[in-house]
Amino acid sequence: MSESERRRAKAVEELRKQEHQRILLGLAPNFNTSNVQDAEPLSAKQKFELAAHSALDPFTFFAAGVDALLSQAKNDFPTYGQGAKGYGKRFGASYLDTFDGTMIGNALLPSLLKQDPRYYRRGTGSFRSRFLHAVTSTVECKNDNRKWAPNYSNMLGNLVAGGISNLYYPPSDRGVGLTFERAAVVSGEGAIGAVLVEFWPDISRRLSRKKSDAALP
C-alpha cells in the first residue's frame, strides 16, 4: 500500500468513528468533532458526506421542531400566523437555517478554501485553556495542511446562510442588518456548542461516577 493510499484509508477509518459520536445521553449528533489531534485531512467528498450526515440526522429535525414550537409560542414572525400552517412555516425556516449553515459552512466553503470543518477537541489541560480553545473555534480552524488559520469557512458560511434566509423569512424580517445579526447569533451558538462538546465527556463521566457511588451500599 502506498503512502497516499494508507492516508486515505486512515481518513476513512477516522471518519467512520466520528459518524457514530453522540452527546447528551446519546441523542445529539457529534459527528463534526475529532478526538484525534493529527487526524488526516478530509477530501471534498468526505466533507460533504459528513455535513449531510449531520444535517439529515433525526435529531436535527427534532431540534428544528422544538425551535419552531418555541417560536410559535412567542409568536415570532407573526405574519406566519398560528395553527399547523404557521408551525409548518416556522419549522421549515428553522430547519433551512440549520441545513444551509451546515452544508455551506461545513462542506462547500471548506472544500473551496481547503479548510477542515471539524472541531478538534482538546480533552486535556486547564479549564481556561480548553474553554478558550472551544470559544475561538468559531474564528480559528485547521487548514487541510494541518496548520491553524482564520476560520473563514465558518464566518463566511454563517453570513451566506443568513443572507439566504432572506428568501424565506417574512419581509419584515429581512435586510442587511438582520443578515449580520443572524450570522452573529449563529456564531455565538456555535461557540456555546463547542464548549459543550469540549466538556461533555467530563460531565458525563462525573455524572456516571456519582450514579455509581450512589448505588453502592
pLDDT at residue 25 in the model: 84
Quickly state the pLDDT bin for 212 (edges 50, 70, 90). low
Quickly state the pLDDT bin for 213 (edges 50, 70, 90). low
Q: Where are the domains of the chain?
A: 43-204
CA 83 to mean position of chain CA atoms? 30
- Selection from 90, 150, 148 nearest residue 122 by Cα: 148
Task: Say if residue 8's pLDDT is above 90.
Answer: no
pLDDT at residue 205 in the model: 87
Average pLDDT of the segment spanning 54-75: 96
Average pLDDT of the segment spanning 158-184: 92
Average pLDDT of the segment spanning 9-35: 91
pLDDT at residue 210 in the model: 63
HEC-encoded secondary structure of the chain: CCHHHHHHHHHHHHHHHHCCCEECCCCEECCCEECCCCCCCCCHHHHHHHHHHHHCCHHHHHHHHHHHHHHHHCCCCHHHCCHHHHHHHHHHHHHHHHHHHHHHHHHHHHHHHCECCCEECCCCCCHHHHHHHHHHHHCEEEECCCCEEECHHHHHHHHHHHHHHHHCCCHHHCCHHHHHHHHHHHHHHHHHHHHHHHHHHHHHHHHHHHHHHHHCC
Of the ranges 6-15, 19-28, 51-60, the best mean pLDDT one:
51-60
Task: Say if residue 76's pLDDT is above 60.
Answer: yes
Average pLDDT of the segment spanning 142-164: 96
